[in-house]
Amino acid sequence: MRRHWLAAGLFGVFGLPALGLALWATIALSWSYSSGKRAGYVQKMSRKGFVCKTWEGTLYTDIARGFRSDSFSFTVRGDSLAHVIETLSGKRVAVNYEQHIYVPTSCFGDTEYFVTGVSAIPE
């Protein structure tokens, strides 16, 4: 241990916090606080970020045709699901989501709502 004091010190300073952050992110992203379904019109879908690129979107719910009542911001993890949502943009859809709270950084998404599925609703 005396010969490797520098390596052990560097691991203690950098390795343990990185390991703790990785464990925290894994637990936060695998455990779902809540899940549900929202219906409305997808108005925006974009890929954001300088280093960590994430898909971010906005869904507008409506009370009556043409009247917006609420907006729902969400994050999509997969590129394939994001492209499906992009193709349904402007149409009435239902999105399935999971809420993951206490995610350590915004590298995983700007919101705590992660969309897991989408389906078109006939008008």
Q: How far is 109 from 35, CA to CA, in rounded Å?
A: 17
3-state secondary structure of 8: helix
Q: 36-61: per-residue pLDDT in tens?
A: 999 988 989 999 888 888 899 999 88
Would you say residue 64 has pLDDT above 60?
yes
Model pTM? 0.74
Would you say residue 123 has pLDDT above 60?
yes
End-to-end Cα, the chain, rounded Å: 70
For range 64-91, the mean pLDDT:
86
Tokens 């890929």 map to which residue?
47
pLDDT at 36 (0 to 100): 94
Q: Dihedral through CA 113, CA 82, CA 90, CA 73, nearest 10? A: 20
Between the alpha carbon of residue 116 and those of residues 72, 95, 122, the distances in Å are 15, 8, 20
Residue 58 makes CB contacts below 8 A (sequence gap 6+) with 42, 43, 44, 71, 72, 73, 74
